Amino acid sequence: MRIKHSLILLVVLGLLSLNTFGQKKKKDKLGKESLVLIQTDFGDIKIKLYNQTPIHRDNFLKLVEEGLYDSTLFHRVIPQFMIQGGDPDSKGAKEGTKLGDGGMGYTLEAEFVDSLIHKRGALAAARMPDNVNPEKRSSSSQFYIVQGRKFSEANLSGMAQKQNYNMKGQLMNEFFNRPENKAYLSRLQTCQKEKDDSAMQLLMQEIEPLVDREFEPKQIKFHPRAIEAYTTVGGAPHLDGGYTVFGEVVEGMDVVDAISAQSCDRNNRPLKDVSMKVKAVKR
């Protein structure tokens, strides 16, 4: 009887040990961030990929391993903003050809993480605009690296205020266009037709709390750490919450700056091609 109990205890302890080891191994694996190297004629850019955005990380690594990015171009360059590449159609593209519509035939689900912002050096996924892509799904292959510029706290405050104003206006329009809100839309149209400001004010007071329920969780608020980043190293804060950030430059921002300084045509394509070769880096 004692022997049986001892065996059971040993088995339980063994299972606990295996479970603990498995958890530690999984944690260690997740703790290591993947590195990729973008090689150009201007030098190398080393980038780490975030584990918080696994869909984008794994997709990027897959394309890197397949050699998809080799011989593609940084086809869109805007100083003090970003450099964009990853269009498969840019391989061997003739001079003056407009690029930026190519991809792998699929898109990626957005992975927005509040702490991952468009600071200088951020790696993010390009995508189609909101009017054709309301879910903000990412391009399968195109990406950009933020060069950006510095902003004052007043700049950031004004930017957030403007974006929130536009967002609330959009939510208001969506509210009136919903089938279940036909009565509200009818009242609005009557107010506009009769130019009845008093009735319009009462209507707005009635529906504003309803719209605010959707607006409050979505409104833009810059976190203190984001404010510090944008006022010290800079970036492109107006893109936060709209495009998935999935990595950052750890070496080679001078190369990004050099590419950003290239002369471009009217489509922001460098007059002299800036091609790349990308490979995974082993730690």
The pLDDT tens digits for 145-164 are 999 999 999 999 999 999 89
Residue with the larger pLDDT of the pair 10 and 162: 162
**What is residue 220's predicted lDDT score, i.e. its pLDDT?**
84
Average pLDDT score over residue span 84-107: 96
What's the DSSP call for residue 264? B
CATH of residue 96 = 2.40.100.10
Contacts of 267 (CB under 8 A, 6+ apart): 76, 98, 99, 100
Same domain assignment for residues 172 and 207: yes
> Does the pLDDT of residue 22 top 80, yes or no?
no
The pLDDT tens digits for 161-187 are 998 999 999 999 999 999 999 999 999
**What is residue 32's predicted lDDT score, i.e. its pLDDT?**
86
Domain hosting 176: range is: 154-218
Integer-rounded Cα radius of gyration of the chain: 25
Same domain assignment for residues 140 and 167: no
The pLDDT tens digits for 100-148 are 999 999 999 999 999 999 999 999 999 999 999 999 999 999 999 999 9
Same domain assignment for residues 54 and 103: yes
The pLDDT tens digits for 222-257 are 889 999 999 999 999 999 999 999 999 999 999 999
DSSP string, 162-208: HHHHHHHHHHHHHHHTSGGGHHHHHHHHHHHHHT-HHHHHHHHHHHH
The token pair that represents 107 in the structure block: 């898109």
Instruction: Describe the crossing of helices 197-218 and 182-194 by its angle, rounded to 10 degrees.
Output: 140
Same domain assignment for residues 72 and 143: yes
> Does the pLDDT of residue 283 top 90, yes or no?
no
How many CB atoms neighbour CB 85 within 10 A?
27
**What is residue 5's predicted lDDT score, i.e. its pLDDT?**
46
pLDDT band at 31 (very low <50, low <70, confident <90, very high): low
Same domain assignment for residues 58 and 117: yes
**What is residue 217's predicted lDDT score, i.e. its pLDDT?**
86
In this prediction the pTM is: 0.80
Distance between CA 242 and CA 194 in Å, rounded? 39
Distance between CA 95 and CA 116 in Å, rounded? 36
Average pLDDT over the chain reads 90
The token pair that represents 94 in the structure block: 């003739």
Average pLDDT score over residue span 256-266: 97
Same domain assignment for residues 48 and 170: no
Q: 1 in a domain, yes or no?
A: no
**What is residue 26's predicted lDDT score, i.e. its pLDDT?**
40
> Does the pLDDT of residue 8 top 70, yes or no?
no
Q: 227 in a domain, yes or no?
A: no
